[in-house]
Amino acid sequence: MVLQSRTVVQKRIFIAFLALFLTLPSVAGLVWTSTAQAEDELN
């Protein structure tokens, strides 16, 4: 029973890391484009 709950927790952590890994590039892209636009406005 304890082992089963532990695997469930590991699975949730794995899914959370996977979601973070998948969303990081898009978030970085948004930040990159927004900072690039800000620099263009400054120049």
Q: How high is the pLDDT of residue 41?
A: 80
Q: How high is the pLDDT of residue 2?
A: 67
Whole-prediction pTM: 0.53
pLDDT tens, residue by residue, 1-43? 667 888 999 999 999 999 999 999 999 999 999 998 888 887 7
Q: How high is the pLDDT of residue 1?
A: 60
Give one word for 36, left, alpha or beta, with left for phi > 0 and alpha for psi -120 to 50: alpha
